[in-house]
Amino acid sequence: MIILYCVCTVVLLFLLYGIIPTIFIRLFAVRIIKNGPTERKEFFLTFDDGPHPVYTPQLLDLLKSYNVPAAFFIVGERAEREPELLKRMSNEGHTVGIHHQTHSNSWLLTPGKLKKEISRCATVIQQATGKKADFYRPPWGRFNLFSLLLAREYQIIMWSSITGDWKAGQGKDKLAAKLKKSLHSGCIYLLHDNGENPGADDEAPSVMLEALRGFLEYAQRQGYIGMPLEELKNTNKRG
């Protein structure tokens, strides 16, 4: 009976600390942006989990060829190994935002550890680019009870389109079709330039790159323009 009580208490605390705050924040769009302005034919590309020494340079080349800016929510410990890629992102007009120092789950972080994850990643960005990070997206889009307080100086960006691009099995054609179907004014796309996290496929970014090429051609034909994330700074969209 005591064991059951302890288990129930732990489950309740876990719900109150992580799962319920995440549901509440995302459902009611509390201090987060999930979509950009809807009055113009614009979209926003965002990439999580990088940088990757092979796929991120290929992605930067692709974006440059189409003259499309993007936002990279980087993992600090990976960026420390690839500072030149962060410099290139910044120099080529892309936004570099905070994911975490490690690809850590906010549900499992104490307030102190969460603060350290955010601040250390911000320091990596500052040192590599010479610029202060303005945007934050927690891994898996998960918050805890203290996330909004500890990230209060940053604009929190979520997404309007998530396509499962971390799995390679769907293939480039199906992924491209999902990207095209999601296209609407203000759409914020969530993609990944690194497939090294648990549950992801290492080769998934190569599939994403091929699908993205087809999508960018399609978007331009439809009259859509990729925009920098800075356009969303200091705004608080709901949906």
Residues taking part in catalysis: 48, 192
Q: What share of the chain is helix, strand, coil (3-state, %, to 5)?
A: 50, 15, 35
How far apart CA 118 and CA 164 sit, in angstroms, is 25
For the residues of 59-119, what is the DSSP string, one character each?
HHHHHHHHT--EEEEEEHHHHTT-HHHHHHHHHTT-EEEEEESSS--GGG--HHHHHHHHH
Cα radius of gyration (the chain)? 18
Instruction: Give strand pairing partners of 189.
Output: 45, 161
Instruction: Give strand pairing partners of 42.
Output: 225
Eight-state DSSP code of residue 209 = H
Nearest-CA neighbor of 148 among 20, 31, 33, 34?
31
